Amino acid sequence: MTGDGVRGSGVLSALGTQAISAQAVIPGLLLVPTPAGQSDQAWAARLTAQGLSVQPDYLYSALAVPNDPGVPGNAGVNVVTALGTRKVYQTYLTRITAPQAWEFLSACGKTPAAATTAMLDSALESSHPDLQGRIVDSVSFLGATDSRTTEHGTATTGVLAATADNGTGLAGVTWSGSVVSVEVLSAVGASTSVLAKGVNYAVQKGAKVINMSLGTTKVRSDPALDSVLSSAAGSAVLVAAAGNTPGDGVYYPASHPDVIAVGAVGRSNSTLACYSARPSATLTRPLDVVAPGGASYGGCSSAAVTDDLLLLAPGGDYDLQAGTSFSAPLVSGVAGLMRAANPGLSAAQTRALLLESVNRTGGLPLLDAEAAVKAATR
């Protein structure tokens, strides 16, 4: 409501007893509640009759809330489990404050989007309805006789890049942006030579973030790959899953000093998932950050499958799975949002800001997308 100044006698007289509860918003503008027992319309008419300019105190909604059913607050995605069909949500997005990061970027006039990110993984189902418009390049470094699979690559890529706001399935943590799919993982694993080719290709394609949801406990240092990773870290933020056995230390390449090692939390943000790799007595390399990864992997937990992450699956489908493989792309996605929000950040600066912005209130370095994006834009 506007009038002859917030302290003007004419305005106060017109308000009557409501002048006591009137709040000054800015000079010349008052916020006045409707008196009990009156309708908003009747109160507005009364004030208008006194020569005042009146309008509602409109409520504006955040624009960065995608309409994908899996996003909390929307309809949910029906998934068939051993417990029957269940309606499931991407609760991991809210646990890492992804919606708040999107809203912050929107408020800054920026579309939530990630810098070019390379997914070094198995092949993916490029025809999946929830990956349309996201994959700008796809290459394979597997041989003609290698056994190929699309399950792992589809799931990990969906965490980062499921097409947001398309009314279908899930929303990837990056909302939008370019993804390079690099097939290095066959049904039996990935070799040093194939991984080296994949990392080099990602760098050549201008990837600002490289996600590796793969690893091994059989080597602790791979000289050929060490060199490739150290070189790539000059231009790209390197992220890898820490591994899925708790007693073997952090897997390689997550244990490489230039790679962000990502562990998993299960149902609680303050407790590592039972399967998550972690420092051991002899292999003390710490986890750099943790993110939701689901709770029931490998049967080491009493958690139900419905405590796992809602992911993309081949056949245009959706599934529930757990593992640090799915924690890592959450971190990669946030790094991508940071580098897109502030293209001037180097890979080293992005890494440092991301790790400095983690939420330690529960005792673990939990990924905090909102804090990381805000830190990148200061």
Catalytic residues: 121, 152, 325
Residues 6+ apart with CB under 8 A from 324: 213, 241, 242, 243, 244, 262, 263, 264, 273, 275, 276, 277, 293
CB 201 within 8 A of CB 169: no
Residue 101: both structure tokens together: 């990061």
Q: What b/e readout covers 304-319, taking b as 16+ CB neighbours within 10 angstroms? A: ebbbbbbbbbbeebbb
Residues 6+ apart with CB under 8 A from 222: 192, 252, 253
Peptide bond into 253 cis (omega under 30): yes
What does the DSSP assignment read for 302-313? ---GGGSEEEEE
CB 122 within 8 A of CB 214: no
C-alpha 375/C-alpha 354 separation (Å) is 8
In a 3-state reduction of DSSP, which class is residue 161?
helix
> Within a 13 Å sphere around the CA of 297, how many CA atoms are in the beta-carbon half?
26
CB 368 within 8 A of CB 338: no
Cα distances (angstroms) measured from residue 341 to each of 83, 125, 177, 338, 352: 42, 29, 12, 5, 16
